[in-house]
A and B are shown apart, each in its own frame.
Chain A
């Protein structure tokens, strides 16, 4: 067994290419904007904070979508379910329900929708493309019916403020610093564990590079959030979802089963994994996150327009997952990549918007990026095979 020699940078993981693309894109927009406008409005804490705010709804959906695509399925219904849950959330608040109760009921509704999708996929083995295509239509239709085709206002100041609330910059700085220290500690613990398990640790230069990049990342986050209004609450919520997704994939038997089912469902079943149950649970998680995303969306919009809210969110979520390197065949990928894909798309959209690129052209460019990502995926896989 000969092992290939790799440069330490490549050891940083399969997402290396997309990290580079993200940096390149940010640099490009910064320079172009500076040349045109003579200032750093693009590269400013305020703009980056805006970008973060723009992707939180899709960001929550994309975590669920990553799990769905990892088991080799797809969930096309998420945008419509966002509309349904957003409308329901607003209606409940309008009726004077207490916010916690309304949240629980709305999220539960999302879980029920996910269970419905999962039921057909797991029990009757109908392709999720069809089942969730149905949900794409059903969800939006139900949202229209429940709302009476009207824009629903929650009439709840506290709720509509939530999306724009932040942790004060001082506290944010402390939180980010604590998170950084915790992350560094985890890196060293991971390395010593690797060694004690008999794995080859990635090597000193790779470790140093990883720490340096991590430091830059945390410093950047500190600069962005403390330089503007502090850590947004929806960002913290999203971060919780992301960390939960990572925990499931890396640390639980359920997560391992997700990879196994996506990689080879027959072999997984013969190894004692209940494939139907895994699929069902993944769709329920996706549904739950639709509920969360619906609440975030309603809070951001200050209400819910049943025909518009959540529209095409499913495509953005799928694009983020695929650009992030998760294979549509299932079995390969991670939430880490999805985050990068999410921000790549967000930076692209934001940069083009503030440069005044026409909306239609933006769509074309976004589409081309998605195709490029898929092509890159196929190309690198061909090389590995």
Chain B
């Protein structure tokens, strides 16, 4: 099994002012799961877009060979016909349409001039069964969680009977179980001779699933090797071009008094009357500690954070006290004034104003403080922008450049800057390092450590188990909207957390704050 199914020779791709690919050379063997890793902005996504025909032939330099013959795709359909299908990082589904309609979009089975609905639903059900995702193909995609939506996306690629599957960070929104399902599926496809090119930020995944690994940096191939010859340290060193001593920097600050105390918190379900989306929550977050919140997708973690921030649309009951004062906020503005900040999960949808400049995003939550009688104090505002740009080392030419031009890591730094400018005493972080490359992630962790040393309390939701376990002082586990465990650092290991999260272990008996 050493014949080459796909080859890239010295591929280059330029955008105005940027050279995204700068000589990519890649050989992918048939039936391999070939992993691809590099920092954000290294060119991984561009590479996939060139391979899948999103950037058509003629818009890039170099040569692509599929099965040894030069491929000149003029669009994604060409690529699909050649057996190359892509699963994009950003979900390309139409939320209003059903699972089946999305899977067959543009290739609807027909009977004469009419759509053949039974074939559509049957086909969709078959594909979803193959992925062992029990979803009614009639369900509108918008009613599915992000994890399931990702599965629909994969089903879409399977439909075109691709023999080369390009996966762009397919697990970034998936939880443990769903990742396992995906991996099983990929292994099954591999046994059927399908080749996968698999991009991920999560090193542990590369080792779990990959046969070979190619590291790219600054748009060029750094090297390719068998997974067996590689270690995490080697890969990280190749990615950043230097050694990173420790992904999770240690801290030794003392833990102070409780800052935020929550008891008997429950949140009504926004659509279903009488049901709770979150209930039975009780914990204390102390100054200088990270309280990690673990749980599967849809276990109510984000809803809990949003409710604490006063931004959840339905009723919230129970007691929340911030430094002794009642803190059940009716709006984000109240929360901000009280010193609470929320870094949301999806920074493009909820964190940033992409039409605005870097600086304007930084001061957006502090405009009250930076204006007098509604008129902005431009000098004070600009000093504030400058301060956070320097403090967080945001890589942007000026404060005036559009925030959408920044890399993922730098965009996330802008979000952090926005919240730090409000001088919060509690930070709620929802997946703070999703879509952020290793180098920037380490910077984020260092920043968190510095804030903790200054006495901030951090509550962090994360789907990355290593992140939760390594960064948290205590871990709160949620399952189906309920708090099922509150573990000390010593108690919290990957196995225990997952057992509570999946229900393999019953909820802890005493669910009162430690």
Q: Which residues of A contact B (CB under 8 A)?
A: 1-4, 193, 197-200, 251-254, 256-257, 259-260, 262-264, 266-274, 327, 331-332, 383
Contacts and interface: CB of A to CB of B under 8 A. Distances in A.
A264 B364 CA distance: 12
Given A270-B332, A271-B418, A253 B354 contact: no
A2 B18 contact: yes
A-B complex: 6 closest residue pairs judged by Cβ atoms: A263-B355, A331-B355, A263-B353, A272-B333, A253-B367, A197-B382
Interface string B179-194: 0000000000000000
Interface residues of B, number: 44
Contacts of A264: 349-350, 352-355
A269 B350 CA distance: 9
16 contacts: A1-B395, A3-B397, A197-B379, A197-B386, A198-B386, A199-B398, A199-B399, A254-B374, A267-B349, A267-B350, A270-B344, A272-B331, A272-B335, A272-B336, A274-B331, A331-B353
A198 B352 CA distance: 23
Contacts of B342: 270
Given A197-B383, A264-B349, A268-B353, 4 more contacts: A1-B401, A267-B353, A271-B332, A272-B368
Contacts of B333: 272-274
Interface string B347-388: 001111111100010001101101100111011001100100
Contacts of A269: 311, 332
Given A3-B17, A256-B364, A267 B400 contact: no
Contacts of B353: 259-260, 263-264, 267-268, 331
A252 B17 contact: no
B241 interface: no
B16 interface: yes
A272 B329 CA distance: 12
A251 B355 CA distance: 18
* A2, A266, A272, most chain B CB atoms within 10 A: A272
Contact of A256 (B309, B335, B360, B383): B360
B18 A257 contact: no
B464 to A, nearest CB: 23
Contacts of B398: 199-200
A200 B376 CA distance: 21
A227 B239 CA distance: 69
A264 B16 CA distance: 26
A252 B354 contact: no
B375 A268 contact: no
A259 B418 CA distance: 16
Given A4-B16, A197-B386, A266 B350 contact: yes
Contacts, number: 106
Nearest to B385: A197
Interface string B313-353: 00000000000000000011101100000101000011111
A199 B398 CA distance: 6
A129 to B, nearest CB: 19
B396 interface: yes
Task: Identify which of A197, A252, A270 gathers the most chain B CB atoms within 10 Å of its CB.
Answer: A270
A271 B365 contact: yes
Nearest to A260: B353
A252 B371 contact: yes
A275 to B, nearest CB: 11
Contacts of A383: 16
Contacts of B399: 197-199
Given A252-B371, A259-B360, A270 B350 contact: yes
Contacts of A256: 360, 364, 367, 376
Contacts of A259: 353, 355-356, 360
A251 B375 contact: yes
A257 B379 CA distance: 18
A273 to B, nearest CB: 8
Contacts of A257: 367
Given A267-B349, A270-B332, A272-B332, A1 B397 contact: yes
Contacts of B351: 267, 270
A199 B383 CA distance: 11
B352 A267 contact: yes
A268 B349 CA distance: 10
A274 B330 CA distance: 12
B371 to A, nearest CB: 4
B349 A266 contact: yes
A252 B378 CA distance: 9
A260 B212 CA distance: 45
A262 B353 CA distance: 9
Given A251-B378, A264-B353, A199 B17 contact: no
Contact of B365 (A2, A197, A263, A272): A272
Nearest to B360: A256
Interface in B185-226: none
Contacts of B386: 197-198
A313 B342 CA distance: 44
A383 B15 CA distance: 10
A325 to B, nearest CB: 13
Nearest to A3: B397
Contacts of B378: 193, 251
A194 B386 CA distance: 12
B356 A260 contact: yes
Nearest to B390: A198
Contacts of A260: 353, 356, 360, 364
Contact of B17 (A2, A266, A272, A331): A2
B355 A252 contact: no
Nearest to B334: A272
B360 A251 contact: no
Contacts of A268: 353, 364
Given A263-B356, A331-B356, A251 B376 contact: yes
A267 B353 CA distance: 7
- Identify which of B16, B367, B397, B399 gathers the most chain A CB atoms within 10 Å of its CB: B367
A263 to B, nearest CB: 4
Nearest to A2: B17
A279 to B, nearest CB: 16
B398 to A, nearest CB: 6
A263 B376 CA distance: 20
B76 to A, nearest CB: 18
A2 B15 CA distance: 11
A135 B435 CA distance: 46
A186 to B, nearest CB: 13
A253 B376 contact: yes
Contacts of A200: 398
A256 B366 CA distance: 11
A263 B374 contact: no
A251 B17 CA distance: 32
A1 B396 CA distance: 7
A263 B354 CA distance: 7
Contacts of B368: 253, 272
A274 B350 CA distance: 15
A266 B376 CA distance: 23
Nearest to A261: B353
B374 A252 contact: yes
A363 B10 CA distance: 55
